A and B are shown apart, each in its own frame.
Chain A
Amino acid sequence: MNEKDQYKNRIELLQGTLDMLILQTLQWGPQHGYGIVQALRLRSGDVLQVETGSLYPALHRLERQSWVQSEWKQSESKQRARYYRITAKGKKQLASDLGRWERIVEAIGSVMYVKPKESES
């Protein structure tokens, strides 16, 4: 698979979903920025590729809102990295983001899969 194809298979992240994805990733345990990118790529089967230009601003924004906390730790490969951890406030936010996401999916779904005769009436 060359780089062009790889790019085609990716989906532009919907506005506002990045925060939710990051928080969800951190649910599985504290992680550093690179780890979050890798985790999202793996889980989405190489479809979701987070741009670093969006990731780091997002992480710093989440920290300012105290949805995540950060600390410097050694990684398994002895690399000093900044680990982000989801906070209680962050978990609450994730729950509400998820609820909103489900409503959007449902709403979009009901628009897209609407039965023709119903729309005629």
Chain B
Amino acid sequence: MKWFPSFGFQRHKRELQEEIDAHLQMAIADRVARGETAETARQAAAREFGNIPLVQDVTREMWGQAWLEQLGRDVRYALRQLRKSPGFTIAATTMLAVAICANSTVFSWIDGTMLRPIPGARDTGELVSLQRGERNFSPTPPFSYLDYRDLREQNHTFAGILAYHHDWITLTGGAQPERAYIANVSANYFDVLGIKPVLGRFFLAEEETRPDAVPNVVLGYSLWKTRYAKDPAIVGKSIEIARHPVTVIGVVPEGFVGAMPGIREDLWVTLDPLGTDVWRMTHRSGGAVWLNVIGRLRPGVSRGQTARDLDTLMHHIVAAYPNDHLGDNRITLDPMWRSPFGANGYMAATLPILLGIAAVVLLLTCANVATLTLVRFVSRRRELAIRQSLGANRMQLVRQMVMEGAMLSTVAGVVALALTSWTSKTFAWFFPPNSNPVALNGSMDSKVVIGIAVASLLAGMLCGALPAWRSSHAPAIEVLKAESASISGGSRNRKLLSGLVVAQIALSLPLLLCSGLFLRTLRNLAGANPGFEQDHILTASVGLNIAGYSHGEEQVIRHKILDRMSALPGVEVASLTDWIPMTLGHKGEDAYPEGYVPHPHESLQVYHAEVAPRYFESLHIPILEGREFTPGDDEKAPRVLIVDETAARRYWPGQDPLGKKLMVWGSPFTVVGVARNSTHMLVNEAPEPMVYMSFFQVGYETIVQVKTEGNPADLAPAVENAIHEIDARLPVFDVRPMRESTQMANIFAVIQSALAGMFALIGLVLAVTGIYGVVAYRTQMRTHEIGVRMALGASRVDVLRLVLLQGMWLTGIGLAVGLAVALGLTRVIARLLYGIGANDPVTMVSVVMLLGAMSLLACYFPAHRAMLRNPVTAIREL
């Protein structure tokens, strides 16, 4: 029992030995007392007792641990068998470990993102995010405070409903100003999420809208740890945010980073902490629509019921305030795992498909290992037959063979577990430096461990049990008798082997096809013209709005920056903007075009950006009609805007848009130009109307954008220095070339093609080695037959053809089945493709050609070897 050392069992065994010894001692003592000599008494007692080990064995069976011992025996037997063929053992374990790791890695990413949408929150399954109007990816905040409050007070379906808005801010007051992500939240924010403070308290209901002279703030755990050195007495202390003193009232527990999946919030304040946002708190449209809303369903209430409840409420709100709610106002609810707010919208579209692809890799690997196992069992059939005729029943044999598969997959599972603890953390690598506080990574918890265990169990069953059951069917007598007749292992095994090879080719074809389509999608996306210049552009964010400057100071500094940048050597054109395209973010606003009647339920939201003069020049976006902004478009001048072609065509079809008016934020803006369409968020987006407004009229954030003569990265230090020369306290961040920023738009295409490509490569290797192994094995088994054929006059070319045909026949069936499967499967990924159809004939033909050619090559080697055999020695070989 050295495989299962257990203290209880060993003690039991010792006690039994002692008990038997005592029995013998008493028997001897009795006999001696009756007058026998010590020696004869000892012998007689031993004889009377009988076979001591047998008595021990039989007694031990009563303890109910016999099965454990039997298991130990099976394990030892399996280990001995596996040790005998280290090549097979290592190859099979490695393949299985890689395949299981592929699955568990993707699953750990799903686990870390979709399954744990809000780390630290209670029962995230009950939480839903609310969206108003048209559904789209990465929506802007959908609710005003008053609308939110009405929904909160009048709904019948939520146990709680919270609202928040977050943005960057600068922490001042310390030695070093630091940028942090701050959230304005409703007072019940932490309650609805189910978060308890580690220090202090959270907000009270009466504080929700109450401005304070010294507002309260709740700190994030990591901020508390890094900036305040885990000060246990932080509660009640005053810190400074954007040069305003605030009081710390609490600290959130470690791990909680906010309510938006994938985004890290660092600190929390109430909705209007300074009393400066009264307008925003008392209006229902325009800039007052700024809150993201999450609700917790009451127990037993479905999402559908809740949606109907909210729609009714929203209907009343729209009826009461029609002018604030033009366009589409239907409410959609999403569970947090696929909430469009934050990262999970993208995750839910990509990761499950990748997990599906990984599962195919695992199936393929199992087929490959099963092939190898079957070949091994066939070559061990004499051993198995002898053991069967010596009395082993079939169940015992199957159990031992299954044990070998189980050992392989268990070891593979353990290796995969170790690998996954590292690969789960690689998810963050995919995200280039960007302007969002992204907190995304895989997680390695009990769910992943269970997933690995299930995958290994499945793999063990598939690669061990199937071949084992098949092999054990071989009738012992026939195997022993028909030594040479069954050289190919019987027709049943031959069929199973062929089936496994066909399965491997059929499974690897869809893998290759998917990866081919993904790779071409990525190439199309990367090569697509976004409609603006990406090279020779450098951008740098200046934290003017978050550092506590007055509006007047801001405007002065902005002009200074623009002048300083234009004068920098190496800068061709300098401009300012408050938005960078293709960075997964956009600003949206309801705009009411003059003279336009919207369709029922049409969203009137437009994308907008505030840009300074020469913006279009620096990005090479042509102005098709009218003019660009000029320095004259400042706060004293009438409000102007430039629309893109989509907006112009939608709102004023067949008319001249110049001079037309748009109501935004309650004021009229006059159209002075029309710009060519360009990409806003994703290359494959449906074009949304875009309006550009004058930076010096309504600009909010400040991003410097310069067109450089040479490599933009070289100019980064000079740009940063120049800004700091104006005011050393100005926070400057996210200084990077445009090319780097826009990578964010293709990030999910990169993830899907990188993984699919890797999986397809594994699939190709497995399929090719699979067919090589089977053809080589079978050819070797037929050596004798080939020798006979050659002796009877078959030419070497005949032999080559014989072997090749056999392999190509299998390949052909595999390709046909695979193609049929692939045609069905590619529809699933059609949504993720760009510039290429799901059944793209070029990709399909090239994948089939690649797989066919590789299989032909794999069959050629054994065929060539067979061809070169000397018929005389071949015949002798049995």
Residues from chain B with a CB closer than 8 A to the CB of A30 are: none
Q: Check if B25 sits within 8 Å of A57, measured CB to CB.
A: no
| B439: interface (CB < 8 Å) | no
**Chain A interface size range:** 10 to 19
| B474: interface (CB < 8 Å) | no
Q: Check if A79 sits within 8 Å of B25, measured CB to CB.
A: yes
Q: Check if B55 sits within 8 Å of A53, measured CB to CB.
A: yes
Q: Check if A75 sits within 8 Å of B26, measured CB to CB.
A: yes
Residues from chain A with a CB closer than 8 A to the CB of B734 are: none
Residues from chain A with a CB closer than 8 A to the CB of B48 are: 52
Partner of B55, one of A35, A52, A64: A52
| A77: interface (CB < 8 Å) | yes
Partner of B15, one of A32, A34, A52, A82: A82
Q: Most chain-B CB neighbours within 10 Å: which of A38, A60, A80? A: A60
Q: Check if A82 sits within 8 Å of B22, measured CB to CB.
A: yes
Interface bits A17-59 vs B (CB < 8 Å: 1, else 0): 0000000000000001111001000000000000111001100
Residues from chain A with a CB closer than 8 A to the CB of B64 are: 64
1-50 of chain B: CB within 8 A of chain A: 15-16, 18-20, 22-23, 25-27, 29-30, 48-50
Q: Check if B27 sits within 8 Å of A53, measured CB to CB.
A: no
Partner of A52, one of B23, B25, B26, B62: B23
**Which residue of chain B is the closest to A60 with respect to CB atoms?**
B62
| A61: interface (CB < 8 Å) | yes
Residues from chain A with a CB closer than 8 A to the CB of B62 are: 57, 60-61, 64
A60 to B23, CA, bound (A): 15
Q: Check if B61 sits within 8 Å of A57, measured CB to CB.
A: yes
Q: Check if A52 sits within 8 Å of B22, measured CB to CB.
A: no
Q: How far is the CB of B276 from chain A (nearest CB, A)?
A: 78
Q: Check if B59 sits within 8 Å of A34, measured CB to CB.
A: no
Q: How far is the CB of B274 from chain A (nearest CB, A)?
A: 75
Q: How far is the CB of B48 from chain A (nearest CB, A)?
A: 8
Q: How far is the CB of B815 from chain A (nearest CB, A)?
A: 61
| A98: interface (CB < 8 Å) | no
Q: Check if A57 sits within 8 Å of B19, measured CB to CB.
A: no
Q: Check if A56 sits within 8 Å of B19, measured CB to CB.
A: yes
A81 to B61, CA, bound (A): 22
Q: How far is the CB of A9 from chain B (nearest CB, A)?
A: 16
Residues from chain A with a CB closer than 8 A to the CB of B229 are: none
| B51: interface (CB < 8 Å) | yes
A75 to B25, CA, bound (A): 12
Residues from chain B with a CB closer than 8 A to the CB of A81 are: 19, 22-23, 26
Residues from chain A with a CB closer than 8 A to the CB of B27 are: 34
Residues from chain B with a CB closer than 8 A to the CB of A75 are: 26
A68 to B18, CA, bound (A): 19
Q: Check if A33 sits within 8 Å of B23, measured CB to CB.
A: yes
User: Interface residues of B: mostly helix, strand, loop or mixed?
Assistant: helix
Partner of B29, one of A52, A53, A64, A77: A77
46-69 of chain B: CB within 8 A of chain A: 48-51, 54-55, 58-59, 61-64
A53 to B20, CA, bound (A): 11
Q: Check if A32 sits within 8 Å of B22, measured CB to CB.
A: yes
Q: Check if B63 sits within 8 Å of A34, measured CB to CB.
A: no
A30 to B20, CA, bound (A): 17
Interface bits A55-85 vs B (CB < 8 Å: 1, else 0): 0110011001000000000010101111000
Q: How far is the CB of B29 from chain A (nearest CB, A)?
A: 6
Q: How far is the CB of B820 from chain A (nearest CB, A)?
A: 59
Q: How far is the CB of A20 from chain B (nearest CB, A)?
A: 17
Taking A34-B26, A64-B64, A77-B29 as contacts, is the C-beta distance between A56 and B50 under 8 angstroms?
A: no
Partner of A34, one of B23, B51, B61: B23
Q: Check if A60 sits within 8 Å of B59, measured CB to CB.
A: yes
Q: How far is the CB of B671 from chain A (nearest CB, A)?
A: 92
Q: Check if A82 sits within 8 Å of B19, measured CB to CB.
A: yes
Interface bits B819-853 vs A (CB < 8 Å: 1, else 0): 00000000000000000000000000000000000
Residues from chain B with a CB closer than 8 A to the CB of A80 are: 18, 22
A35 to B26, CA, bound (A): 9
Residues from chain A with a CB closer than 8 A to the CB of B54 are: 53
Residues from chain A with a CB closer than 8 A to the CB of B59 are: 56-57, 60
Partner of A79, one of B20, B26, B63: B26
Residues from chain A with a CB closer than 8 A to the CB of B61 are: 57
A80 to B179, CA, bound (A): 79
Q: Check if A77 sits within 8 Å of B26, measured CB to CB.
A: yes
A112 to B257, CA, bound (A): 88
Q: Check if B26 sits within 8 Å of A56, measured CB to CB.
A: no
Q: Check if A51 sits within 8 Å of B50, measured CB to CB.
A: yes
Q: Check if B16 sits within 8 Å of A79, measured CB to CB.
A: no
Residues from chain B with a CB closer than 8 A to the CB of A60 are: 16, 59, 62-63
Residues from chain B with a CB closer than 8 A to the CB of A51 are: 50
Residues from chain B with a CB closer than 8 A to the CB of A53 are: 50-51, 54-55, 58
**Which residue of chain A is the closest to B64 with respect to CB atoms?**
A64
Residues from chain B with a CB closer than 8 A to the CB of A35 are: 26
A62 to B439, CA, bound (A): 62
Q: How far is the CB of B720 from chain A (nearest CB, A)?
A: 80
A82 to B62, CA, bound (A): 17
Q: How far is the CB of A83 from chain B (nearest CB, A)?
A: 10
Q: How far is the CB of A90 from chain B (nearest CB, A)?
A: 16
Q: How far is the CB of A43 from chain B (nearest CB, A)?
A: 17
Q: Check if A79 sits within 8 Å of B58, measured CB to CB.
A: no
Q: How far is the CB of A46 from chain B (nearest CB, A)?
A: 13
A56 to B22, CA, bound (A): 13
A101 to B450, CA, bound (A): 53
A34 to B23, CA, bound (A): 5
A75 to B19, CA, bound (A): 13
A121 to B361, CA, bound (A): 80
**Which residue of chain A is the closest to B44 with respect to CB atoms?**
A3
Residues from chain A with a CB closer than 8 A to the CB of B23 are: 32-34, 52, 81
**Which residue of chain B is the closest to A35 with respect to CB atoms?**
B26
636-690 of chain B: CB within 8 A of chain A: none
Residues from chain B with a CB closer than 8 A to the CB of A38 are: 30
**Which residue of chain A is the closest to B47 with respect to CB atoms?**
A3
Residues from chain B with a CB closer than 8 A to the CB of A32 are: 19, 22-23, 26
A61 to B61, CA, bound (A): 9
A80 to B61, CA, bound (A): 25
A61 to B58, CA, bound (A): 11
Q: How far is the CB of A36 from chain B (nearest CB, A)?
A: 10
A32 to B20, CA, bound (A): 11
Identify the B interface with A (CB < 8 A). 15-16, 18-20, 22-23, 25-27, 29-30, 48-51, 54-55, 58-59, 61-64
4 closest Cβ pairs, A-B complex: A60-B62, A81-B22, A34-B26, A61-B62
Identify the A interface with B (CB < 8 A). 32-35, 38, 51-53, 56-57, 60-61, 64, 75, 77, 79-82
6 inter-chain pairs at a CB distance below 8 angstroms, sorted by A residue, are A32-B19, A52-B48, A52-B55, A53-B54, A53-B55, A57-B58
